[in-house]
Amino acid sequence: MDKQSIIQELQFKAVRSSGSGGQHANKVSTKVELVFDVANSKALTFSEKQRIYLRLKNRLTKANILVLQCDESRSQHKNKDLVIKRFLDTIEKALKVKKKRKRSQPTKSAIEKRLKSKKKTAEKKANRSKPNH
């Protein structure tokens, strides 16, 4: 994954933001909307695209487009930086391959300890019964 080529494929749209800002908020578009078309991306390989479809399927539109928004700051530039950072984190998490878990085996001492406790319990229960005469 080449970050620079992916960032060049991003499309941004400035939208009027809700929230703080007073009269200023009514006339300035500070909210930034990031749009990334996964299907038509040239920066991602086929397998990377498949992994993104699988991991981000609940965040993609029907046309396989990822849309992120940011309106945390009153500054459009700051919001743009924040949404790019969030986008890159999301893509990196989606592309990360999880390690397969190897089943571990119990140690010899753990096996011995288990068998000793079983034997002790069995003895205890055997001693509860009436003696045979």
What pLDDT does 114 receive?
97
Q: What is the pLDDT of residues 15-71, one digit of tens each?
A: 887 766 666 666 778 889 999 999 898 988 999 999 999 999 999 999 989 999 998
β-strands 31-37, 65-70: how paired?
antiparallel
What pLDDT does 5 receive?
87
Q: Which 3 state secondary structure label does DSSP give 104?
A: coil
Nearest-angstrom CA–CA distance, 60 and 42: 18
What pLDDT does 4 receive?
87
Q: What is the pLDDT of residues 116-133, one digit of tens each?
A: 999 999 999 998 988 776
More confident residue, 74 or 61: 61
Helices 46-55 and 76-95: crossing angle in degrees, nearest 10, is 100
Element (H, E) at 36: strand 31-37
What pLDDT does 92 receive?
92
Domains of the chain: 3-95 (3.30.160.20)
Q: What is the pLDDT of residues 79-102, one digit of tens each?
A: 999 999 999 999 999 999 889 999
